[in-house]
Structure 1
Amino acid sequence: MSMRRLLCLGAATIWPGYAAAQTPASVDSVVVTASRVGAAAASPYALAVIEGEPLAARQSVADALSGVADIHVQAPGGRSGVSSIFLRGADPNFTVVQLDGVPLTATTNSRGGAVNVSELDVAGIERVEVVAGPLSSLYGSGALAGVINLIVPGGAPDHRFTTSAALGSDQDYAVALGWRGPLAGSFGGSLTAAVSDDGSVYSGSKFRTWSVTGKAAADESPESARLVFKISRNRAHSFPDSSGGPRFATLTELETREGRETLVGLRAPIMELGRLRIVADAAYLARRDSVVTPGVAPSAFDDFGVPAGEDRSRYERLSAGLGARVNGGNWAGAAGLEAQVEDGRSDGFMDFFGFHMPTGFKLERTSLAAFAEVGRSAGGLDLNAGVRVDDPEGLEREVTARAGLRYAVTGAPLVLRASGGTGYKAPSFYALGNPFVGNPTLRPEKSRAAEASVEWTIAEGSVATLTVFHARYTDLIDFVPGPPPQLQNRKLVVSQGASAALTWALSPTLAAAIQATYADTQDDDTGEQLLSRPTWRTASSLSWRPHEALLLTARHSYVGPRKDYAIPVGPRRLDGYSVVSTDAALTIHPQTIARLSIDNVLDNDYEAAIGFPSPGLRARLAISQEF
C-alpha cells in the first residue's frame, strides 16, 4: 500500500474530516490514560480525544467512537444489539474500556470480556480518550490493542444544574439531569442521572437504560483525591448473534438481555515529601447479566446451530494499589504495586431437544502486579518507557513493556513519533469454566506491536499526520468445532496498515478534518481476512459557524467491504457503505441550547451484520437548559 493511495482515498471522501470531533490531544488531557508520569514528557503514543459538541450530539459511546477511523464499531440493530469494537483490526475484547480509569470488563460473558459500548450513554461523560497500542505495561491483562477511557467531569467554581431532553423520529428518547459545582474544602463534584430508549430499529427490537454517574475530586491532576461511581441498568430485545437477523433468521423469537452494573473507584494521596508523592487506589466492579435466547436453527452451513437456553452470570472485581511518583523537573518516574481479586459465576443451561444441559461455572482469581515507568524531556526529545510484571493465579507470570519517543524537529514544523510494546490477556472465566466449550488449559493471549508517525503543522489550526503500524497477536483463543467442541489457543493474527489524518482550519468560522485508516488483519496460517473487519475506513466532518449562536456540522463515514458469517446463509461478503449525518446546535440563550441531529441523511440501506438492516434516516431534537 502506498502513501499516495491512502491520501487519494481520503481526498475522495464526500466531506473532509470527522477528526474535527477529536480535539488536539494535549498532554494534560490524556495523561490519565496514556501514562502514569504526567506531563514530564509529551506523549509519544497514538492518542485521540472526543469532547465538546461532537460528544454532546451523540447518544451512546458507540456513536461517538464511530467517528474515529482507527475504530470500526459493528452495531447490528442499533443499540438493541451487542456492539463490537475493532481497534485497528484487533478483537473486540483486546481493547480495555474504562470509566475514569476503572475497567468495565466482566470476564463471565461469552465474548471474552468485551464491553458492549452501545449500552453506555454519553450523559455524564466529559470526554472520551482513545490510546492505541499495547498498554498491558500500564493496565495489565486485556490491553493488547489499546484503551478507551470515559472521563467523568469534575467540579466547577459555582453550582450548575442542567436538564436535557431528546425526542427522536423512531420513538426514541433520552432525558438527563445533571449537577456540577463545589463541595467541601477544595473538592468539587458532578452528578448525572440519565434515562434513554432507542426506539425500534426493526420490529420487536428494543433497548432501554438508566444510569447515575458521579464524581468528587480535589482537582483534575492525576494524583489528586477523587471518588467516582456509576450505577446502571439496561434491557434489550434483539435477534441473537449469527442468527441472520430479521432478514434471514429461521426462528423469529427475540433474545432478551438484562444487565446491572455498579462501579466505585477511589484515589487518595497518603504522603507528599518534596518531589515524592505516594497515592493509594481502590476500585470495585459488580456486573449482573441475564440472557434468555431462543437459539439459532441449524442450517446447511451448521448442522447444530445454537441451542436455546438461559444464562445468569455475576462478576465482581476488587482491586487496590499503592504507587509512588517522583517529579525531577524534566523527568518523572513512577512505581508501585497492585492486587486484584475476581469472582465470577454463571448459572444456566442449553436446551438440547428438551434436555437442559447445565452451563454454569464458578471461578476465582487473585492477581498481583508490580510496575515502573519513567518519562524524560530533553530539548525537543521526549522519552517514555514502562514495564510491568503480572502474576495471575493459576497462570504463568507475565512481563510486558513499552517504550516510545517523540522528537520535535528543530527549525521545522515536524514532530516524529515511534513506539512499541507488548501486551497480554488472561483467559476469561467463560473460556476457562464453561462446561460445554470451556478449556481450563488455555494460555494467555499475547500481542507485540510497533508504530511510527510524522506530524506536520501546515499552519495554525491545520495539521497533517501519517502513521504506520504493525501488530502480531498470538495464542488467540478460538472455537474449534471438534468433536468435542472446545475453545483452544491456535491462531497467529497479523494486523498492519497505516492511517492518515488532516485537520484544516479553512477560516475562523470553517473547519474541516479527515481520517483514513487501512488495516489488513489476517490469519497468519491461512492468509484469510478476519470476519467483520473492513480493510478501509474513513471518517470526516465539516463544521461551520455562520453566527456565534449557531454551529452546523456535516459528517461522513465510510466502512469498506468485509467478510461476515451467519448460520442460515453461511459466509458472505458485505458491501461497503457510506453514512452522511448532520448536526445543528443553536444557542437560544447563554444557558439554553437546541440541537437537531439527523443520522443517515441519505437513508442508505446497508447491513452492519448479515441480515441486520441499517437504522435508516433518524432525526432527533434535543433541548438542554443550564441553571
Structure 2
Amino acid sequence: MVAVEITRGAGSAVRGADAIAGTINFITYDSGVTAVARAKASVGRFDVRRQHIKLVGPVSEQTSLSISASVAEEGATILGNHYYDQTVNGNAQYFLESGGVIRLVGRLSDGTRSSFPDDSGGPKFAVLRSTDERKLAQESGAITFDQPVSERWNFRLEASLFESDDDAKSPGVAPGRRNPFGIPKNSSVTRYRRHDLRAFASTRIHKNIEVVSGLERRNEKGTSESELFLTSGVTKGRFDLRRQTNAGFIESRWQPLPWLSIEGGGRITEPEAFTTQTDFSFGVIALHKPLGTKVRANWGEGFKLPSFFALANAIVGNPDLRPETSTSYEISVTQPIFSGKGETTITLFDNSFFNNIDYDTNKHQMVNRTQLSSHGGEFSFDWRGYKRLFLKGQISFADTRIHETGEKQRKRPTWRATSTISWQWQRNFSANLAFTYVDTVLDSSIPTGDLILDDYFKSDLALNWRPMPHINVGMKIDNFLGARYQEVLGFEAPGVSPFLMIEFLL
C-alpha cells in the first residue's frame, strides 16, 4: 500500500454516490522499481496461522510488477468462530513513451467463515448452539490510464469490476424476549456483480486555480435465492437486481492568497428507478504561517442508494428501501507544538442523515429512518519526543440518535479514546504499546432484548527485532492485561492473545 487518503463527511463529488459519510481511498497500485522478495509466517493462540509471500520488482525499463499470496486461518478466538481465507493480489504498471502510465490491479479471495448468527446473543446467550456457515469468493480488478496532454491538462480513464459469490446456511435463532417467533432456519445463495467506468479531465486554468471534472457509469447485477425452513414447510424466495447509475461531477480549488485555499464541488447522480440527485460541497483551508496554525472548514451533501444486501437479504432485507441523503458540517484547527516536534488537532462535526437505512429491532427488518443525527468532536495529538520516542493519542465524542424516537443508535459508543507509545531502540529493536478505551454502548439480541454493554479498557503490546538485515522477528500480545469485554452482545472478546511472526527479505 502506497498511501491512504481520508475524506470526512459528504465532501467529495469525485468519489461518488457512496460518499455519504466520508471516503477512504487506499492507493495500492505503485509496485516500485526495486526487486524485493518477502516471506512471512505467524502463529498465535486459538490456532491462528498466517503465511504471506510477496514478489516485487521491475520486468523491464518501462514495466514493474507486484504479486502476493496469503493464507490466513483462525480458530475459536470467540466460541463458535472459525475463519479461513486464501488471497492472491497483483498489480502492475507500464510507463508509456508519451508520458502516460497504465496501471492494473487485481485480487482473488476464497474462504469460509463460521460464527453464531447475528441477533442470536452469541456464545453467551444463544439457545441454539449451531453456527452460521458461509463460503465466500470474491474477485476484483481495475485498470487505469493516465495521460498528460500538456503542462495544464491531464486525462484519466478508470474501469473496475467487483464480483462476489456468497453461499450461507444458518440454524436460525430461537424465540426470545425481544422476538417471540425468532428466526427460522435458512439458507441463501447470493451472486453480485458491479462494473464501474470513469473518465476524468483535470486542468490548471490559472496558477492558482485547479479543476477536475468527469463522468461515471455504474452497472450492478445481483441475484439472491433463499430458503426458509418453517414448521409449515420450506418457503423459497428470489430477489433480482439490475441497476444502472450515471453521474457527472466537478471539483475546483482556488488559492487567492498564499495562506488561503477555497474548494468546491458538485455532482449530479441519475440512478435508475429513482429521481435525479444533485449534491454540492464547499470547503476553506486557512494557514497562519507564523504559528503554523491551520483551520479547515467543510460543508457537504451526500447521497447513497440502498445496498444489494439491504434489499435482498431473505431475513432482514427490504426491497422497498429508499436512497439515503446527508448533510455534513465540520471544522478543525491544527496547531504544531514543541517547535514542530508535535501537533494537535481539534475537530467539531455535525452530521444529519435522512432516510438513513438501519436495522429495526422491533420489525426485525432494514428500514428507512426519517432522520439520524450525529454530532460531536475529536481531539488528537502526536509528539516525536526524546530521541526515538513517539507518542500519539485521540479522544472522540459522538452523540448519534434516531430523531423519530430520540433513542441512541445501537452499537455506537459516545466516548472513545486511543493512545500509542512507540519506542525505537537503536536500529534493530522497536516496541509499541497501544491503549484503547470504549464507552458503554447500547446493543440488542433476540434472547436478551436491549442491554447496555459495559465500557472497557484494553491494551496491546508489539515488539520487533531485526537480528540480521534480511530477517525480522516480531511478537504481539493483544489484550495483554486480559480485559473482559463485549464489542457485540453475547460475543465475549478473547483474553490474552500472543502471536509470533518471522519475516525473510531477499
CA contact (8 A) 2:11 2:282 kept: no
Residue in structure 2 matched with residue 428 of structure 1 by the alignment: 307
Letter in 2 for 1:546: W
Distance (Å, rounded) in 2 between the aligned partners of 1:436 and 1:307 = 9
| In the alignment, structure 1 residue 310 sits paired with structure 2 residue 183 | no
Q: Is the 8 A contact 1:242 1:565 kept in 2?
A: yes
Trace 1:277-296 onto structure 2 (pairs within 5 A): 277-296=154-173
SS of alignment partner, residue 13 of structure 2 = helix
Q: Would you say how many aligned residue pairs link Structure 1 and Structure 2? A: 500
Q: Flag the 1:497–1:203 CA change in 2: closer, same or farther, 3 A.
A: closer
Aligned with 1:596: secondary structure? strand
TM-score of the superposed pair, with normalisation by structure 2: 0.94
1:349 to 192, 207, 227: 227
Q: CA deviation at 1:481?
A: 7.8
| Counterpart in the other structure of 2:38 | 162
**Counterpart among 310, 333, 336 of residue 211 in structure 2:** 333
Q: Does 1:367 align with 2:236?
A: no
Structure 1 residue aligned with 2:429: 550
C-alpha distance after superposition, 1:79-136 (max 9, x if no partner): xxxxxxxxxxxxxxxxxxxxxxxxxxxxxxxxxxxxxxxxxxxxxx455443321146
Cα distance in 2 between the residues matched to 1:605 and 1:436? 31
| Comparing 602-611 and 426-435, the one that deviates more | 426-435
Task: Check whether the contact 2:113–2:135 (CA below 8 A) recurs between aligned residues.
Answer: yes
Q: Which digits, 9 at most, give the CA deviation of each residue in 1:408-450, with x for residues without a partner?
A: 1142221111011011111223444567765554321111001
Instruction: Tell me which of 350, 354, 358 is aligned to 1:470.
Output: 350
Q: 1:268 aligns with which of 127, 141, 145?
A: 145
Q: Is 1:460 aligned with 2:336?
A: no
Q: Of the two structures, which has the highest relative contact order with CA contacts closer than 8 Å and spacing of 6 or more?
A: 1
Return the alpha-carbon distance in structure 1 between the equivalents of residues 448 and 381 of structure 2.
40
The aligned amino acid for 1:601 is F
Amino acid of the structure 2 residue aligned with 1:170:
F
Q: Distance in 1 between matches of 2:229 and 2:294?
A: 59
Which residue in 2 is equivalent to 1:538? 417
Counterpart-to-counterpart distance in 2, 1:488 and 1:607 = 26
Unaligned runs of 5+ in 1: 1-124
Q: Could you tell me how far apart the structure 2 residues matched to 1:303 and 1:341 are?
A: 40
Choose from 170, 180, 196 the match for 1:319: 196
Aligned partners of 2:462, 2:102: CA distance in 1, in Å? Answer: 37
| Aligned position for 1:217 | 93
CA contact (8 A) 2:29 2:104 kept: no
Number of the residue aligned with 1:492: 371
Mapped to 2, the partners of 1:199 and 1:481 lie a distance apart of 30
Say if 1:486 and 1:200 are closer, same or farther in 2 by CA, change over 3 A: closer
**Which residue of the partner structure matches residue 502 of structure 1?**
381
Q: How far off its partner does 1:616 sit?
A: 1.2
Alpha-carbon distance in 2 for matches of 1:491, 1:187: 52
Cα deviation digits, residues 463-508 of structure 1 (max 9, x gap): 011000000011123456898x764433311100000001112212
Shift of 1:453: 0.7
Answer yes or no: is 1:244 the counterpart of 2:115: no
Q: Partners of 2:56 and 2:450 in 1: how far apart?
A: 50
Distance 1:353 1:136 in 2: 50
CA deviations on 1:117-163 (whole Å, 9 max, x unpaired) are xxxxxxxx455443321146222222211123333252233211110
Distance 2:399 2:362 in 1: 29
Deviation at residue 550 of structure 1 after TM alignment: 0.7
Q: Which residue pairs with 2:325 in the alignment? A: 446
Q: 2:456 aligns with which of 577, 582, 586?
A: 577
Deviations 1:507-544 (A, max 9, x none): 12111111000000011222211111100001110011
Q: Which residue of 1 aligns with 2:47?
A: 171
1:20 aligned residue? none
Equivalent residues of 2:321, 2:368 under 8 A apart: yes
**Cα distance change of structure 1 residues 186 and 135 upon mapping to structure 2, 3 Å threshold:** farther
Deviation of residue 591 (structure 1)?
Answer: 2.0
For the residues of structure 2 that align with 1:270 and 1:157, how far apart are their CA atoms?
20
Give the C-alpha shift of residue 199 in structure 1.
Answer: 2.3
Moved more, 506-515 or 268-277: 268-277
The two structures, once aligned, show a CA RMSD in angstroms of: 2.1
Q: Is 1:191 aligned to 2:67, yes or no?
A: yes
Report the structure number with the largest CA radius of gyration.
2
Q: Distance in 2 between matches of 1:258 and 1:150?
A: 26
d(CA) in 2 for partners of 1:440, 1:244 = 27
Where does residue 528 of structure 1 map in the other structure? 407
Name the SS for the 1:246 alignment partner.
helix
User: How has the CA–CA distance of structure 1 residues 478 and 626 changed in structure 2, closer, same or farther, with 3 Å as cutoff?
Assistant: closer
Q: 1:467 to 1:163 in 2, by over 3 A?
A: same
Q: In the TM superposition, what whole-angstrom CA distance separates every residue of 1:156-203 from its partner, at most 9, and x where no partner exists?
A: 332111100101122101100001111334332311101111222134
Q: How does 1:57-136 map to 2 (within 5 A)?
A: 125-135=1-11
Q: In 1, Cα distance between the equivalents of 2:42 and 2:3?
A: 20
1:566 and 1:380 map into 2 onto residues whose CA distance is 53
Tell me what 1:151 maps to: 27
Partner of 2:465: 586
- Change in Cα spacing, 1:430 to 1:173, as seen in structure 2 (3 Å) is closer
In structure 1, distance between residues paired with 2:93 and 2:311: 39
In the alignment, the residues of structure 2 paired with residue 187 and residue 255 of structure 1 have an alpha-carbon distance, to the nearest angstrom, of 45
Residue from 275, 286, 291 that aligns with 1:407: 286
> Which position in structure 2 is the counterpart of 1:398?
277
Return the structure number with greater helix share.
1
Aligned CA distance change for structure 1 residues 504 and 438 (closer, same or farther; 3 Å): closer
Tell whether the 8 Å contact from 1:166 to 1:621 is kept in structure 2 after alignment: yes
Q: 1:515 to 1:238 in 2, by over 3 A?
A: same
Cα drift, residue 397 of structure 1 = 0.7
Residue 360 of structure 1: SS of its match in structure 2?
strand
Amino acid at match of 1:152: T
Closer, same or farther: CA 581–330 of 1 in aligned 2, 3 Å: same
Residue matched to 1:381: 260
After the TM superposition, which of the residue ranges 239-248 and 145-154 deviates more from structure 2?
A: 145-154
1:8-47 correspondence to structure 2 within 5 Å = none
Q: CA deviation at 1:245?
A: 0.7
Amino acid at match of 1:532: K
- What residue in structure 2 maps to residue 117 of structure 1? none
- Separation (CA, whole Å) in 1 of partners of 2:450 and 2:178: 9
Contact 2:348 2:376 in 1 (8 A): yes
Q: CA distance change for structure 1 residues 320 and 486 in 2, over 3 Å: closer, same or farther? A: same
SS of alignment partner, residue 507 of structure 1: coil
Quick check: which one's strand share is greater? 2
Aligned AA for 2:193?
A: E
- Secondary structure of the 2:14 match is helix
Question: 1:346 is matched by which residue type in structure 2?
Answer: S
Q: 1:255/1:436 Cα in 2 relative to 1: closer, same or farther (>3 Å)?
A: closer
* Letter matched to residue 251 of structure 2: E
